[in-house]
Amino acid sequence: MATVTFDKATRIYPGAKKPAVDQLDIAIEDGEFLVLVGPSGCGKSTSLRMLAGLEDVNGGSIRIGDRDVTHLPPKDRDIAMVFQNYALYPHMTVADNMGFALKIAGVPKAEIRQKVEDAARILDLTEYLGRKPKALSGGQRQRVAMGRAIVREPQVFLMDEPLSNLDAKLRVQTRTQIAGLQRRLGITTVYVTHDQVEAMTMGDRVAVLKDGLLQQVDSPRNMYDRPANLFVAGFIGSPAMNLVEVPIIDGGVKFGNSVVPVSREALTAAADKGDRTVTVGVRPEHFDVVEQGGASTGSLSKDAPAGLAVTVNVVEELGADGYVYGTAEVGDGRQDLVVRVNGRRVPEKGSVLHVVPRPGELHVFSTSSGERLSD
């Protein structure tokens, strides 16, 4: 087992104007499950392939344990990779597929058999060892691909979207199995996905990339509670965090007809940049709905109810919860917002809700730079 370190690792594809991966810095702990996540084209696969030795590194370095592997060929890195399209050999049985790398490495037959049987037991594949891949379900093929990686007992597992060929239900099951298996084996794992839910449920830590640049590396909890910038705030969480540009006023920000208190540090930081607004982030579950009738308590204008008026467009009822998709007048424009409400008391389509962010659950970002200002 080993740590993995990306030290300002950079990849510039021939002919490209800017790096596909730009000075990536991540220190992955021994036994850690790290997930690389981000939108299509952000550089996830390139990062993984640099670690695998399948892509040149044009700047910086990569280490596995204390070994600098930056320019080592893939076979000398002691890694095993699981790809999206499993790449099983169709003419070989499951057992032969799983043992193939060991056979090439000249491992004695009996030892291969033992390792394959052990891996098959872990993966619940024992009864399929004699079958060919075409006689397996998608999920079983995926497990064979995992088995092929496991029998090699590598220092590091690399996985690039290994679940994307599975249907939604099987994907959820298999992600739990892979995360559980990784924890049992304790092998350092770097896992690539574009699915933030997968990232948040599987990773010890999650690294968010955008345009080849690392945005944040953190535990799923911190990523959700303290996103480092507007990009991460909008990317992590489903439905996404509401991001609203609001004017700075005395003691806080103006949110519809309410003043919402914001820390002095955040407001000073915004003012130092010459900004008159900040962008506040509120998760759908962090709005309080202001009851009608209690009208103007806390309101800036006497006759209007406090908070921001949201016109209900669509209500999604999920049983315990409901999500209201609505529109609000913000500044000079209109903006879509999502509000979580009690599933037993959902508002009607076309009605108007007045919402205020729950105290202490507000995220404040610089409108100009996007960086987080609140702590």
Ligand X SMILES: Nc1ncnc2c1ncn2[C@@H]1O[C@H](COP(=O)(O)OP(=O)(O)OP(=O)(O)O)[C@@H](O)[C@H]1O
Q: Which of helix, strand or coil describes residue 214? A: strand
Of Mg ion, ligand X, none, which one sits near residue 46, judging by CB under 5 to 8 A according to partner kind?
Answer: ligand X
Q: How far apart are CA 348 and CA 360, in angstroms?
A: 29
Q: Is 13 an interacting residue with respect to ligand X (CB under 6 A)?
A: yes
Q: How far is the CB of 212 from ligand X (least distance, A)?
A: 7
Number of shown-chain residues binding ligand X (CB under 6 A): 12
Number of shown-chain residues binding Mg ion (CB under 5 A): 1
Q: Which of 40, 66, 127, 302 binds ligand X (CB under 6 A)?
A: 40
Q: How far is the CB of 198 from ligand X (least distance, A)?
A: 12
CB 339 within 8 A of CB 289: yes
Q: How far is the CB of 21 from ligand X (least distance, A)?
A: 7
Q: Which of 2, 28, 33, 45 binds ligand X (CB under 6 A)?
A: 45
Nearer to Mg ion among residue 45 and residue 242 (C-beta): 45
Of ligand X, Mg ion, none, which one sits near residue 242, judging by CB under 5 to 8 A according to partner kind?
Answer: none
Nearer to ligand X among residue 79 and residue 209 (C-beta): 209
Token look-up 């529109």 returns 327
Q: Which of 4, 43, 88, 141 binds ligand X (CB under 6 A)?
A: 43
Q: Is 45 an interacting residue with respect to Mg ion (CB under 5 A)?
A: yes
| Residues of span 166-195 touching ligand X by CB under 6 A | 194
Q: What are the structure tokens assigned to 298, written together?
A: 């806390």
CB 339 within 8 A of CB 285: no
Nearer to ligand X among residue 8 and residue 109 (C-beta): 8
Which residue blocks in the chain are alpha helix, DSSP H?
A: 44-52, 94-104, 109-123, 138-150, 168-185, 196-202, 220-225, 230-235, 264-272
Q: How far is the CB of 157 from ligand X (least distance, A)?
A: 17
> Which value, to the nearest 10 degrees, does the dihedral of the CA atoms of residues 276, 282, 286, 290 take?
50
Q: How far apart are CA 259 and CA 250, in angstroms?
A: 9
284 HSE (CA, 13 A, CB side): 21
Binding site for ligand X (CB under 6 A): 13, 16, 20, 38, 40-46, 194
